[in-house]
Amino acid sequence: MMVESATETIRTTGSNQNGVSSLSSQSDGGGREGGSNGDANGEISPVDLLHLQQQQALQAARQFLLQQATGLSSPSSNEVKQSPVQVPVSMAMMTPQMITPQQMQQILSPPQLQALLQQQQALMLQQLGSKQLAFQQQLIQMQQLQQQHLLTLQRQGLVNLQPSQGPVAIQSLQQAMCPTDLQQLWKDVAGVQSTEEAMKHEGLDLSTNSSNSTSFTAAKVSPQIPPHPLANGQHALHTPKRDRARLFEWISSFTKGESSDEQTTPYPKGSHLQSAHAPHEEHTGTHPLYGHGECKWPGCEALCDDMGQFIKHLNNEHALDDRSTAQCRVQMQVVQQLEIQLAKESERLQAMMTHLHMRPSEPKPFNQPLNLASSVPLLKRDSDVYPEGLPHPPTSAATPITPLRQGPSVISSSSLHSVGPIRRRNSEKYCTPIASELAQNCEFYKNADVRPPFTYASLIRHAILEAPDHQLTLNEIYNWFTRMFAYFRRNTATWKNAVRHNLSLHKCFVRVENVKGAVWTVDEVEYQKRRPPKMTGSPTLVKNMISGLGFGSLNANYQAALAESSLSLLNSPTLVSNSSAASLNMPHVGHDDVSSTVEQVNSNGSCSPGLSPQQYGHQIHVKEEPAELEEDSRPVSLMATITPTLERDMEEDLPTEELE
DNA sequence: ACGCGCATAAACACAG
DNA sequence: ACTGTGTTTATGCGCG
């Protein structure tokens, strides 16, 4: 056949080792795959760069968002210690005279600059005096104008409304504005008062920050901002409810009931903003609004020698009055705007990834990896077996993303092979082995035409162990592959042959005659005997990890080898042989990744990503808490990114021999 | 250079 | 004869 000749051709190009056979060589990713196949010499591909930039931008936004929210809602955020990176907040406290616009631009990302502008406008608002009422009315008007936009966002799932927050959340979001609108509003207000201030802001190029022009600049400007481990978008929504109610009450006094939502706020009235100054904070000696001997209330730079003095100052100067309320209100706007912006950036990231890594003929957005938890109920969870060649019905369309909860970077490092330059080895070897990877990103692999970074053997094993009785027929294995991986919905001849080849070749796969024919089981002992590839600290490998992990397109062998290695490492030596494999429930697995995940995924292929334990897989111990822990999942890759030394330590401390 | 693990291709056997 | 299943061999690649 012509397959042979085609294969020969491809082999000469050295690209077939990435798993793309002749049947798929016409795919969109073919060219890039061949080009950067293992010899990219550390060059970061454009795709890598895109993801990196997006991630960094989003992280910056999240970081800032957190800090904004921290400054706003002190009680709930008391446990969030002040980050060593205090750039946005502290910068916001500075007057424009203290720092040049250029310096600001260097320090702050556009979202931060935007928020800074708003904070300074809030400062102006203080001085606005008689203009305040007009401003507030204008604000309300803008809110109404924004309502349609926000409803659209909500419809698109870009804004997550938590039920517990009810009307408050809705109301808050309705008040959120797109950056352009808000800034126009600020400019209007500023123009009334001080054109000089406005000029300074123009100098910062803040007003030109449209809603979709920030991320890349942000990535460039503020890459030094580390991902906050508690960078939870929810913080932004966790403004003390009573405070909000108080604010809304205050606002509604101006709107004369035009906004019904505000009046439906179910929280008791009469609460005070001072409630933010919880007593325990006075005891701890820390306060989100106090740092470096200064009051960090927006626009206030009062020097306070100690906490007591600060508290006194706080209660005296920032008591519940119109000014404080307005400032708080503005701060809310800042947070909300950033939330919106974050949602937009997240959406853009997804669109980019969709564009880059999915077949153009299948323009389905793969939202799932960004919001696996919320997608669970929408997944088809029965024992569906999709006919070969028939793609899994996309579930993404109906799946809303909730960037505020889930954040933009839920995709684990091992699935986002090109998210960042430093990430893969750690997560692969110790944190996200196949079970974790699949549980976490199963929807990604289901929809994206991405070769899974695992060996056939490990995939087969996983499929078998996933089965209720730990046995599958060949055809069921086929179906599992096609069901779980869009990649395997094509090139059937190639990978099926490979599956059969692996089944026969590896001793770990045992064929058992069954009533209804032959089934395949896994001999875990044999599987563990296989020598895992040990490639610790190989500079070449790292290079390849960096340059060649572009969504399964490169160095598939090594991706697979690494994944394989990780799987072996994470499996315990207490595994039983095939004879009892059917009844074994994977008792006590050391880093228990497989067992927990297998149980999760046990409902025949449907994963429970929301519960995936590997979201904290970089930790040694396994937690079994349900994962409404919105945030912990993202930093998996980020943690890996910022803890290279740790990964090395782990690597050397976990010799595979220990498992035998 | 060699061995290893892996992927791929392909030939072959066998059963239904 | 055809198809699916299973086995085996060959080859190439990247790496240690």
Is the pLDDT at A654 greater than 70? The verdict is no
Mean pLDDT in chain A? 48
**Amino acid letter for position A285:** G
CA distances from A617 to A163, A453, A524, A637 (A): 29, 17, 22, 10
Is the pLDDT at A478 greater than 50? The verdict is yes
Is the pLDDT at A312 greater than 90? The verdict is no
Do residues A273 and A245 make contact, with C-beta atoms less than 8 angstroms apart? no
Percentage of chain A surpassing pLDDT 70? 24
Looking at the C1' of nucleotide C4, which residue has the nearest alpha carbon?
A: A475
Is the pLDDT at A570 greater than 70? The verdict is no
Nucleotide B1 C1' to residue A553 CA (A): 30
Confidence band for A473, pLDDT divided at 50, 70 and 90:
very high
Predicted confidence (pLDDT) per residue in A412-450, tens digit: 333 333 322 222 222 233 334 677 777 777 888 888 888
Average pLDDT over residues A616-645: 31
Contacts of A657 (CB under 8 A, 6+ apart): none
Instruction: Please report the pLDDT score of residue A288 as a whole number.
Output: 78
Query: Which protein residues have a C-beta closer than 7 A to any atom of strand C?
Result: A 11-12, 14, 17, 37-39, 473-475, 478, 497, 500-501, 503-505, 511, 517-518, 520, 534-535, 538, 540-541, 544, 555, 557-558
Which alpha helices (H) appear in A267-395, and where do they start and end?
A: 279-284, 307-317, 322-357, 372-375
**Which nucleotide is the nearest neighbour of A495, by CA and C1'?**
B8
Is the pLDDT at A186 greater than 70? The verdict is no
Instruction: Please report the pLDDT score of residue A499 as a whole number.
Output: 95
Average pLDDT over residues A283-311: 76
Predicted confidence (pLDDT) per residue in A119-151, tens digit: 544 444 444 444 444 445 554 454 544 444 444
Q: Tell me the helix, strand and coil percentages in chain A, rounded to 5.
A: 60, 5, 40
Length of chain A: 660
Confidence band for A18, pLDDT divided at 50, 70 and 90:
very low
Nucleotide B15 C1' to residue A465 CA (A): 27
Contacts of A570 (CB under 8 A, 6+ apart): A430, A433, A589, A590, A591, A592, A593, A594
Contacts 24+ apart (CB under 8 A), A181-188: A181/A142, A181/A145, A181/A146, A182/A118, A182/A142, A182/A333, A182/A337, A183/A114, A183/A117, A183/A118, A183/A207, A183/A209, A185/A138, A185/A139, A185/A142, A186/A117, A186/A118, A186/A121, A188/A138
Nucleotide C14 C1' to residue A38 CA (A): 9
Predicted confidence (pLDDT) per residue in A347-384, tens digit: 776 776 666 655 433 333 333 333 322 222 222 223 33
Do residues A436 and A454 make contact, with C-beta atoms less than 8 angstroms apart? no
Nucleotide B7 C1' to residue A495 CA (A): 9
Average pLDDT over residues A465-485: 91
Confidence band for A461, pLDDT divided at 50, 70 and 90:
very high
Of the listed ranges A322-326, A513-517, A646-650, the one predicted with least confidence: A646-650
Decide which of A380 and A162 is more confident: A162
Nucleotides of B under 7 A from a protein CB: 4-11
Alpha carbons A315 and A329: distance in angstroms, whole number: 18
Alpha carbons A421 and A438: distance in angstroms, whole number: 22
Instruction: Please report the pLDDT score of residue A614 as a whole number.
Output: 32
Query: Which protein residues have a C-beta closer than 7 A to any atom of strand B?
Result: A 1, 3-4, 7, 16-22, 454-457, 493-495, 497-498, 500-502, 530-533, 556-557, 560-561, 564
Is the pLDDT at A327 greater than 90? The verdict is no
